[in-house]
Structure 1
């Protein structure tokens, strides 16, 4: 029996992983108090200062330098601090806790489903507004259902699966840097004209970081009912979406549950043409609840499999 559990305590990485999940379950960070919110606001203030070039190439250079300025000094400080801490495991635990976030997504989803179920558009818009970049004012119930479903899928994909993947690769620092990179891409999203093309370098960086974890998670969702049909949809639709990781994830959920995702969206008063993904059913409250249940079970499977793989790797080491 001792040999069975030795991988879990012989290396602190697994203890940190499950400790972070347990602490987050008991005492999650409120969204308003999370460091990512402060980071997001600072990124917007920095962009106001340096995103002043009208030239495409100069704006790209400014965006690249701003991205480096935000991330590399923080990375250098965290790497330098790690050898100085008393317990490295506590250091890893702290930054994994700062990076992971599914409880706020659960809270948002429960409130959003209730608002959609009673057709309270104003409440649904109020819940969505601080989370997404697109304009919520013109959204109908159909548009709100799509936007809420996409938000739920991407929040679980990035704030849980992506964070855990990069924790396994690069520890707590890697998970935290990934989460902050996602927030930069969101703060400087080139979907909004004032950040185009300034935000393209940040979005491309996150696209690289997302590629493996989101596609692997899409395959987790793919298995089972309607797998063959969903694979066909991926072949047909994936190239029409600008980001490869999110495209697979959105199509896998939309195809499996036959939900219509994507489509045109309005950012700062300007209509963006986006491809339609998934199936043909407009997401309603019951469909969003089904999406959450599907993603939650797949995330649990991801956590179990990642834990087993980490245990085997560390045991081998």
Structure 2
């Protein structure tokens, strides 16, 4: 990697992470809200004229996502310096670190204060399971699982695809993840139509999820995290959420998984991690893994950039001597 490219990459990463930390997600006119309306319109048109089979869903996915990725690639070319604001803005848009922290604290604080009704209400904002009958441990477990999983979906996955493909890569990942959250359910409506959205999201998450799991393991109880990843992840329905949550739960020393109600149906989920029962502290500890993981990734990126700068200088000096 050229010296300038390495330094530029690290600078863009740091600027976008800082923007997310300071500004958070847009409170009004959020781009993903507009994208949701766009995707809903695409779905309606494709269902009406093409159908609801897998091929129709794949066409809808392409029509919903690819024009915006193409626009992002084009915007980077309109001026020699355009890649700076375009990439930083797109990665900032793709990141959801501060939003994740705000949602996590909105669950942990009332749970810690004994306000179970409020904690149930807030955890229902970020999980798809039914929360009305959850006890305090169930709320804490749901919140902890969500923070661990969304650490990949809202943070590390976006960072990975930015490193691979710049702002367009981060945008592709975020839009694909959004469509998976909208169309990827195994319900009668989306079982076939949402197949492509679910599989594409699985593919895009294949490497980021495992790097996220490794990050959690390195920052927590490493041996236990790796053991839980190895023994528990394969039993989970999602090929990517399994490693992330098993390693994360093991790193925290907390027991997650178990029965949960989705769309009125009880599901017996495999265990995740081992150790104490979840509580408000485990939600905050999971958020700590995400935050420290971001710092670790930035430090590694800076180290790579430093090596990219120093190596040619050292090689040149040796050759000159």
- TM-score scaled by structure 1? 0.86
Could you tell me which residue of structure 1 aligns to residue 130 of structure 2? 135
- Closer, same or farther: CA 176–276 of 1 in aligned 2, 3 Å: same
- Quote the offset at 1:32 in angstroms: 5.7
Query: Of 214, 228, 248, which residue of structure 2 is paired with 1:219?
Result: 214
- Quote the offset at 1:168 in angstroms: 0.8
Superposition pairs of residues 66-105 of structure 1, within 5 angstroms: 66-85=60-79, 87-105=82-100
Could you tell me which residue of structure 2 aligns to residue 22 of structure 1? 18
- Quote the offset at 1:127 in angstroms: 1.9
Number of positions where the alignment pairs a residue of Structure 1 with one of Structure 2 = 309
Q: Are 2:250 and 1:255 aligned?
A: yes
- Closer, same or farther: CA 30–132 of 1 in aligned 2, 3 Å: farther
Q: Are 2:194 and 1:202 aligned?
A: no
Q: Counterparts of 1:283 and 1:139 in 2: how far apart (Å)?
A: 13
Superposition pairs of residues 2-41 of structure 1, within 5 angstroms: 7=3, 11-30=7-26, 33-41=29-37
Could you tell me which residue of structure 2 aligns to residue 173 of structure 1? 168
- TM-score scaled by structure 2? 0.85
- Retained in 1: the 8 A contact 2:219–2:289? no
In the alignment, structure 1 segments of 5+ residues that lack a partner are 1-5
Q: Are 2:264 and 1:269 aligned?
A: yes
In the alignment, structure 2 segments of 5+ residues that lack a partner are 313-321
- Retained in 2: the 8 A contact 1:192–1:267? no
- Quote the offset at 1:286 in angstroms: 1.7
- Retained in 1: the 8 A contact 2:24–2:98? yes
- Closer, same or farther: CA 60–313 of 1 in aligned 2, 3 Å: farther
Q: Are 2:119 and 1:124 aligned?
A: yes
- Quote the offset at 1:233 in angstroms: 2.2
Q: Counterparts of 1:82 and 1:225 in 2: how far apart (Å)?
A: 39
Could you tell me which residue of structure 1 aligns to residue 109 of structure 2? 114
- Closer, same or farther: CA 268–154 of 1 in aligned 2, 3 Å: same
Q: Counterparts of 1:316 and 1:69 in 2: how far apart (Å)?
A: 44
Instruction: Please provide the CA RMSD for this pair.
Output: 2.8
- Retained in 1: the 8 A contact 2:91–2:162? yes
Q: Are 2:59 and 1:59 aligned?
A: no
Q: After the TM superposition, which segments of 4 or more aligned residues of structure 1 sit over 4 Å from their partners?
A: 6-11, 48-53, 313-317
- Closer, same or farther: CA 235–23 of 1 in aligned 2, 3 Å: closer
